[in-house]
A and B are shown apart, each in its own frame.
Chain A
Amino acid sequence: MERQCAPVGRVGTSTYKAVALNDLPVGRAGRVLGILAERELKRRLLEMGFCNNVRVEVVRKAPLGDPIEYRLRGYHLSLRAEQAHCISIRPD
């Protein structure tokens, strides 16, 4: 399953660089651009709230680097890096 983020895009008149969620550094936030994953995972992520334009914040990484804790819509959840990689983000 190809998992790539479009490197550049446009919103309004500003260009931005899209980043995979697992590449977003700790403490930074961004808005979801899209999910590129197999169907079940994509559904799961959408249902947990990772819709277009939702604000996601990176809270911390586990001591061993994986999984990663995020905050969105007022709650905390953690994802493994390989799944976070499927979500592309426009950093704030």
Chain B
Amino acid sequence: MAICCEASDSTLPLTTGALTIALAGNPNSGKTTIFNALTGMRQKVGNYPGITVERKVGRCRLPEGVDAHIIDLPGAYSLISRSPDEVVAMEVLRGLRPDTPKPDAVIVVVDASNLQRNLYLVSQIIELGTPMVIALNMMDVAMRRGVAILPAELEAELGIPVIPVVGHKREGIAELKAAILKARIAPMPDWPLPQSMREELTVVGGALAIIDSAEGLECEAAGLKRATPQEAAHPNQLRLDRYRAVAERLLVGDRAGDLTAIANRDPVGSVLSSAHERMTQDGMDPMQVEIEAHYRWIELISARCLHDVDELAAMGNEPPSLLSHEPPARKPTVSERVDMVLVHRVWGLLIFALIMGSLFVSIFWLATPIMHAMESAVAWLGHLVTGEMDDGPLKALLSNGVFDGVGAVVVFVPQIAMLFLFLSILEDSGYLARAAFLMDRLLARVGLHGKSFIPLLSSFACAIPGIMATRTIENRRERLATILIAPFMSCSARLPVYLLLIGVFFAQFSAWTRAGIMLGLYGMGIVVAAGCAWIFKKSLLKGAATAFILELPTYKFPQFSQVSRQVVVNTWEFLRRAGTIIFALSMLMWAMAYYPRLPEAQVQKIQATARTNALSAPATSNLLGAAQLEHSFAGRLGHAIEPAIRPLGYDWKIGVGLIGAFAAREVFVSTIAITYAVGDNEDALPDAMRHDTYSARYGPPAGRPIWTPLVAISVLIWFVLAMQCMSTLAVVRRETSGWRWPLFMLVYMNTLAYTLCLLLYQIGSRV
């Protein structure tokens, strides 16, 4: 294989100041494990500005006292495709992002058990002309499959350092760090292009050379500005190769960065289109020709470097392009054998149901005792702090505002952490892809993706981790559709509301019926979600069906350190985003319920009435509490919205509850308890509710009992459908990089809830 430029000896410039090193590689190549091994705890995770692609940068100490910033690029199969992750990887590598310096060197993580496809990305990075090192990872997996690669051979083929690494055992990391300093620009391979394309490239390359010498051609993209020592010695030949490299990029349709400007320049544009035309007339697609040439080069290399562990490679006389590098009678790998069960048409589905079911159940059951314990702990702490204080605004602020607010947030943490734990294990082990494989048919019908399943399932515990989990869905439309319907999966915060209302108003029915109603509510959420997803598919999110290409990676044992890191990071993110909002809104709700204070005269009146009726002290304070709530801003707001919600069968007390539910849905129950003057004694709530009647203020049906089964159902359906969780909206804002979609969610879901409850109540009350 001819090499048209000699290997450049330019090692990295040891400038003062840290090096910028990019870490690239296919998804599932073990890149993250290597990143963690290189940077330890010194990582910063954020987002690239303006988009939802995650940005991970860490610091690393290299030998010889050199510091490096390592950028963990998003996993990419190619630098040319349009998925946001791959666009970012390409832009960072080419130095096109203003927020990230162009890397001084690239480490490409190559999965040894999957060499050919991984080398495709390598071939693209070689074309960028950046100094490179290859980290040959998962050598152990390859060995187990009977495939051996000799790193020295690969290094000889590619002309860049190749360091064997076993990421999860942290082997080879020290050698990798040393090798970074010896990163080299790879010699540009002579891609086996057909003769006609080579001729076209010479034509276009020549045109570029002429323009460059005449007018100057700025092309950072193919390193035209950077002359290696060899090029300085033989300027004409080697620069022509660089022009041909740019010509190749242009001819296959790459327009990233400054290539657009070049393609648009006068002579270049017409030269390109005539070259294109000639090739099309010959029945050749430049894009296809180029990719196939890269793969032919890859096949030649892998034929030379891959050896059967049992017998060294006897490649025989088969022409290289027909070569598949495994021996014909191949034992199935461990992963493949596991898949025979896990993806089996019967067993696979059963096991899937079992795994998902136990995830679901454990979130509710396992987490509950921990949640109770945490609630008690916060309450105890609250009493400790405020016990000795005098009654007054400060005590109320602390115990009811601050500590209750903290309690409202803290109560989520066990469930959320457990959920993130399961999600992380599912993803790292490789099972997530199988789950997506099993479920895709069902989900694709309504415009979702197989990978939507687990985020939606997670949303039954809390929509926030569910929405965060949609990051695994590469396609933007399918991801957005999943996010938009996730809140319809009734989250655990709605459970207290469901339990209260079903328990009170359907007490006369058997336990089975009540369970059935509960299930019906969950089912309704699912049906509405599917319906909305389908409508979005047909209208808002309409577009060409996107390429569903799902790699099924080798099964891996999830690493404890990686999993625990993800759980901690994600739970912290939840606390930071959702927790702050829940806390802030709780405080706001507290203030709205506390102020303005009930006038002293009224307090006296109520106390007098209580004394006449010989009520106990707790009962008196409950009465006062109820009166205070009605008098407060919250109460007044409830009265203010009563005309709007009366058509749904709600009165102002329910209105206040709904307002409280904006902080967190389960606040509905505690708020209702206060309005009905039962305070903390929620067992007395059902009776109080049953005896309540509509006030005359807003017309009929004054004097009639409010809480009929119909109204109960109306409230239940409201909770199934309405978007009340402000922290969910905040997370959606972050995940979709803008306010457009959260606002849309707020409007469409609440309109749907209002309309359905309205219809239900109006029709129901006339029947």
Q: Taking beta carbons and an 8 Å cutoff, which residues of A are in contact with B?
A: 35, 38-49, 51-55, 59-60, 62-67, 69, 73-80, 82-83
Contacts and interface: CB of A to CB of B under 8 A. Distances in A.
9 contacts: A44-B549, A46-B291, A47-B78, A49-B116, A62-B438, A74-B147, A79-B548, A82-B545, A83-B548
Interface string B272-288: 00000000000000011
Nearest to A29: B324
Nearest to B340: A60
B324 A47 contact: no
Nearest to A73: B116
Contacts of B450: 67
A51 B80 CA distance: 17
A51 to B, nearest CB: 5
Contacts of B113: 74-75
A80 B444 contact: yes
A69 B547 contact: no
A28 to B, nearest CB: 15
B682 interface: no
A63 to B, nearest CB: 4
Contacts of A64: 438, 441-442
A59 B78 CA distance: 25
B177 interface: no
Contact of A43 (B291, B325, B441, B545): B291
A69 B343 contact: yes
B552 A78 contact: yes
B191 interface: no
Contacts of A53: 321-322
B240 to A, nearest CB: 28
Given A62-B438, A74-B113, A78-B548, 11 more contacts: A38-B544, A43-B81, A45-B547, A47-B77, A49-B117, A59-B336, A60-B343, A63-B348, A80-B440, A80-B548, A83-B549
A31 B325 CA distance: 15
Interface in B311-348: 321-322, 324-326, 336, 339, 343, 345-346, 348
B680 interface: no
Interface in B410-448: 437-438, 440-442, 444
Q: Is the interface of A mostly helix, strand, loop or mixed?
A: mixed
Contact of B292 (A39, A52, A67): A52
A67 B443 CA distance: 11
Q: Which 8 A/B pairs are nearest by Cβ-Cβ distance? A: A64-B441, A63-B345, A76-B552, A73-B116, A46-B291, A47-B78, A80-B548, A66-B441
Contacts of B594: none
Interface residues of B, number: 45
A82 B552 CA distance: 19
Contacts of B115: 74
B549 A77 contact: yes
A70 to B, nearest CB: 10
Given A46-B292, A74-B325, A75-B551, A62 B440 contact: yes
B503 to A, nearest CB: 38
B114 A75 contact: yes
Q: Is the interface of B mostly helix, strand, loop or mixed?
A: helix
Contact of B291 (A38, A39, A51, A62): A51
A73 B117 contact: yes
A78 B444 CA distance: 14
A83 B437 CA distance: 15
B51 interface: no
A47 B291 contact: yes
Contacts of B544: 38
B327 to A, nearest CB: 12
A39 B339 CA distance: 33
Contacts of B326: 74
B117 A67 contact: no
A77 B441 contact: no
Contact of B437 (A35, A62, A74): A62
B573 to A, nearest CB: 31
A26 to B, nearest CB: 11
B77 A63 contact: no
A45 to B, nearest CB: 8
Contacts of B291: 43, 46-47, 51
A82 B442 CA distance: 15
B652 interface: no
B453 interface: no
Contacts of A45: 547, 549
A33 to B, nearest CB: 13
Contacts of A51: 291-292, 295-296
B117 A48 contact: yes
B82 interface: yes
Contacts of B77: 47-48
A66 B440 contact: yes
A67 B343 contact: no
A49 B295 contact: yes
Contacts of B82: 40
Looking at A47, A48, A78, A79, the one whose CB has the most chain B CB atoms below 10 A away is A47
Contacts of B349: 63
A44 B81 contact: yes
B80 A77 contact: no
A77 B434 CA distance: 10
Interface string B90-119: 000000000000000000000001111100
Contacts of B545: 82
A77 B81 contact: no
Given A53-B321, A62-B437, A63-B345, A43 B287 contact: yes
A74 B116 contact: yes
B66 to A, nearest CB: 35
A46 B291 CA distance: 7
A60 B117 CA distance: 21
A35 B288 CA distance: 10
B354 interface: no
Nearest to A41: B547
B590 interface: no
A52 B194 CA distance: 14
Contacts of A75: 113-114, 117, 551
Interface string B672-702: 0000000000000000000000000000000
B261 interface: no
Nearest to A68: B437
Contacts of B345: 63
B441 A49 contact: no
Interface in B567-621: none
A2 to B, nearest CB: 15
Interface in B333-375: 336, 339, 343, 345-346, 348-349
